[in-house]
Chains A and B, each alone.
Chain A
Amino acid sequence: MWSEAMRAERQGDVAAYERLLKELADLLRRMIKHRLAQHGLGAGDTEDLVQEVLIGLHTKRHAWDASRPFLPWMYAIVRYKFVDAVRRLKRESRYRIDITIDEWSELLEAPAEDADRRMLEIDRHLSDLPQGQQDVVHALAIEGASVRATARKLGTSEGAVRVTFHRALQRLMARAELGQAVTLRGKI
């Protein structure tokens, strides 16, 4: 059935392909959540991984031999992408800090009185940046979108988004004399 949809995709059948991707996404979501737990990782990265695997399957769809079963091929790709991502997540987890709610409130309490002034300041600094950097910072730091989504939205590569973001951060930090911009760094 999914092989049918894969063949339909090659004929340019958008609807069939979209249905296939949706069903795959549902399957992947369940599978990845379960497997992440097995690896002792939180479910928070599930959706990121689902997207990553979907993009992988999409970019390699031509490599599937239509005369062979689809499922073993798909699972091999899912496994490859998953192992890759787990390796990355475990590496990144060393840099992540899990802070309890109490500690957070302690951290946030102190500057509460001049929060408005800070927001204004951030806005003012942001508007000094070139338009391209503004877009990226806005998407990543204020809307909270992922790097991939931002790259897609702005029509560039993930690498370019990362580079732009870091340049913007450097500029902001130079202006704000360190301080608030540092907290954004952990995101990338």
Chain B
Amino acid sequence: MMRSIETKNLIQDLARQAGSQHYLNAISLDWLLLVAIGFSLAIAAAMVFVLIGVRPDFGIMVQRAPFHYKIALTLSMVCAGFFFAQRAGQPDRTKLPLIAPLPALLLLALGASTDTSGLPITGNSGISVPACVGAILVVSLPVLAVILGVLRSRAPTRLVVAGAAAGLLSGAVGATAYTLACKNDGALFVAVWYSAAILLMIGLGAAIGRRALAW
């Protein structure tokens, strides 16, 4: 009996807080995610700039097809990550948008199968693979923190899925920033090693999701 009186008091306490909300909570999840993506992309790009520096031939690079392929691929992954994260933050949306990663997957298949550049899959130099994957992971970490923060402010109920979605989105944002510095133009290299880095981020997000997103 005492417990239900306690519940009554609790309800009164909670009811008195009607209408009082943190201003960030009034923003829809879509907008909050978009702002977070823009903000964390800027952080990731700044990190690339400071830690690695942009490519010396940056001005020429941005006009050429390999860079366009990288940007198209990584941005299509950002889109996929956005839709996954947006669903994962809403408990009543149980169906994941399985079409969302389709453009990215098509681009991956296209790039890997039509690569006629003759550039080796392991990149220009012996350290290309670890440098590329490592750089994407490092610049993706702060992005992951931001995205997990956004999801925490909402109501994720499938924590591992939500963590994986946050990992995908942050890996894709990190990879987008890394294109500014990436010296390997082979489409096969990009398709394989960018994906590997993003898959690692998905795994990391899923692994820490259960704890980081619990409420």
Contact = CB atoms under 8 A, between A and B. Distances in A.
Interface in B10-50: 10-22, 25-26, 28-29
B90 A65 contact: yes
A12 B19 CA distance: 4
B44 to A, nearest CB: 27
A22 B17 CA distance: 15
Interface string A1-13: 0000000111111
B91 A51 contact: no
Contacts, number: 95
A65 B9 CA distance: 28
B7 interface: yes
A14 B18 contact: yes
A47 B7 contact: yes
A145 B10 CA distance: 13
B74 to A, nearest CB: 29
Contacts of A54: 7, 10-11, 14
A35 B184 CA distance: 57
A152 B18 contact: no
Contacts of B2: 144
Contacts of A72: 92
A10 B26 CA distance: 10
Contact of A65 (B3, B18, B28): B28
Contacts of A15: 15
A77 B157 contact: yes
A55 B90 CA distance: 18
Contact of B10 (A11, A55, A65, A77): A55
Given A10-B19, A149-B10, 12 more contacts: A12-B19, A54-B10, A54-B11, A63-B90, A65-B29, A69-B92, A73-B92, A76-B92, A76-B155, A77-B91, A77-B157, A149-B9
Interface of B: 2-4, 6-7, 9-22, 25-26, 28-29, 89-92, 94, 153-155, 157, 214-215
Interface of A: 8-18, 21-22, 25, 47-48, 50-51, 54-56, 58-60, 62-65, 68-69, 72-73, 76-77, 79-80, 84, 144-146, 149, 152
19 contacts: A10-B21, A12-B18, A14-B19, A15-B15, A16-B18, A18-B18, A47-B3, A54-B11, A55-B14, A59-B215, A60-B154, A62-B22, A65-B28, A76-B92, A80-B91, A80-B157, A144-B2, A145-B6, A149-B6
Top 10 nearest A-B pairs (CB, nearest first) are A12-B19, A76-B91, A18-B15, A47-B3, A62-B25, A80-B157, A63-B155, A72-B92, A17-B18, A73-B92
